[in-house]
Amino acid sequence: MSRILGIETSCDETGVAVVEDGRHILANKLASQASEHALFGGVVPEIASRRHTEVISQLTGEVLAECGDNIDAVAATYGPGLMGSLLVGVNFAKAFAYARKLPYVPVHHLEGHVFSVFLTDEPPAFPFLTLIVSGGHTCLVACRKPHEYELLGATRDDAVGESFDKVARLLELPYPGGPSIQKAAESGDPEAFMFPRGMGSDDSLDFSYSGLKTAVLYALRQENGWNVADIAASFQAAAIDLLLIKVKRALKETRLPALVAAGGVAANRLLRERLTAEIGEPVHVPPLSLCVDNGAMIAAAGASRWAHGYTAGLSSSACATIPLT
Task: Quote the least distance from Cβ 57 to ligand KG4, whole Å.
Answer: 23
Q: How far apart are CA 196 and CA 209, in angstroms?
A: 9
User: How many angstroms separate the CA atoms of 6 and 10, rounded?
Assistant: 12
Smallest distance, ligand KG4 to C-beta of residue 239, A = 8
182 binds, among ligand KG4, Zn ion, none (CB under 5 to 8 A by kind): ligand KG4
The entry of ligand KG4, Zn ion, none near residue 164 (CB within 5 to 8 angstroms by kind) is: ligand KG4
DSSP per-residue string spanning 100-167: HT--EEEEEHHHHHHHGGGGSSSPPPSSEEEEEE-SS-EEEEEEEETTEEEEEEEBSSS-HHHHHHHH
User: What's the min distance (Å) between Cβ of 82 and ligand KG4?
Assistant: 10
Binding partner of residue 7 among ligand KG4, Zn ion, none, CB cut-off 5 to 8 Å per kind: none
The smaller minimum CB distance to ligand KG4, of residues 144 and 269, is found at 269
The binding site for ligand KG4 (CB under 6 A) comprises 11, 134-136, 161, 164-165, 176-179, 182, 263-265, 267-268, 292-293
Using CB distances below 5 to 8 A depending on partner kind, what does residue 268 bind out of Zn ion, ligand KG4, none?
ligand KG4
CB of 101 to Zn ion, least distance (A): 30
Residue 145 CA, distance from chain mean position: 20
Minimum gap (Å) between residue 149 Cβ and Zn ion: 16
- In the complex with ligand KG4, the residue whose CB is nearer, 240 or 250, is 240
| Residue number, 130 or 134, with CB nearest to Zn ion | 134
Contacts with Zn ion, residue ranges (CB under 5 A): 134, 293
Q: Min. distance of Cβ 133 from ligand KG4 in angstroms?
A: 7
3-class SS of residue 30: strand
Q: What are phi and psi of 107, to 5 degrees?
A: -125, 135
Q: Which does 176 bind (CB under 5 to 8 A by kind): ligand KG4, Zn ion, none?
A: ligand KG4
Query: How far is the C-alpha of 315 from the C-alpha of 120, rounded, in Å?
Result: 34
Whether the bond into 80 is cis, omega within 30 of 0: yes
Q: Which residue's CB is nearer to ligand KG4, number 231 or number 292? A: 292
| Torsional sign, CA 165, 168, 174, 178 | negative
Pure H helices in the chain: 34-38, 45-67, 83-100, 109-115, 160-170, 177-185, 210-222, 228-254, 269-278, 288-291, 295-307
Of the pair 118, 195, the CB lying nearest Zn ion is at: 118
Beta bridge partners of 183: none
Nearer to Zn ion, 192 or 299 (CB): 299
Which CB, 60 or 116, lies closer to ligand KG4? 116
